[in-house]
Amino acid sequence: MTQSSNGPESTEAPIALVTGASRGLGAALAQALAADGWHVIAVARTTGALEELDDRIQAAGGTATLAPLDITQDDAMRHLCRSVHDRWGRLDLWVHTAVHAPPLSPAGHIAGKDWDKTLATTLRATGTLIPMIEPLLRASARGTALFFDDPARLDDTGAPRKFFGAYGAAKAGQIALAQSWAAECAALGPGRAPRVLIDRPAPMPTATRARFFPGEDRNLLAAPADEAARLLSLLQTDA
């Protein structure tokens, strides 16, 4: 992990882990959380994008720790979680926005490499990270995990969209996993398990959506910063 140059973090500040923090909603939420007094641990594969995020966080007076990691690498993520435990002893929030957006394809023509990468990033990594991160969230009185469904995988009737088979299947699996975890935690009662929240953001002009809908008018889509502000308010309301 790389500490932001904006000074050492305070253990009194709430700690948020954002996986998929380099762009889109993940980056916007990392900025919003940092501006609200959270110390953000930002995880993404792209070092340059993380450094740009850190510049924006610092400019607004916030702090961040950068972790340029691939979430599909189990040992690297295990080491990160151990480092979080050793440094802070807890996580107050896990925001999981990391996905892989494969090319659109008929189900009968999905390339094996696209299928494997989509499942590894969107579904398998989620299942691997939950048992790593859950103990850190349990160590916090306010531990919360936040997941995001994607309306892009569904058509206007709510049915799976044509050519979205690989992405839609992986995303639906991720959400099913999060829903099961949410039900398990809710059954244990407050204070005994993390809260697990699942949100469906408004369509935003992200790089992922641009791959799916390259010709749409992006001016009609919600700004990631606006969605981040709404989600920050949701977290505060549900606290």
Asked if 70 and 45 count as a contact pair (C-beta separation under 8 A), the reply is: yes
Tell me how far apart the alpha carbons of residues 172 and 150 are, in angstroms, rounded to a whole number. Answer: 9
Q: Greatest CA separation found in the chain?
A: 53
Tell me how far apart the alpha carbons of residues 173 and 124 are, in angstroms, rounded to a whole number. Answer: 9
Residue 135 token pair: 């103990």
From first to last of its 239 residues, what are the pLDDT tens digits of the chain?
665 544 434 458 999 999 999 999 999 999 999 999 999 999 999 999 999 999 999 999 999 999 999 999 999 999 999 999 999 999 999 999 999 999 999 999 999 999 999 999 999 999 999 999 999 999 999 999 999 999 889 888 989 999 999 999 999 999 999 999 999 999 998 888 999 999 999 999 998 899 899 999 999 999 999 999 999 998 887 55
Q: Which domains does the chain have, with CATH numbers?
A: 2-238 (3.40.50.720)
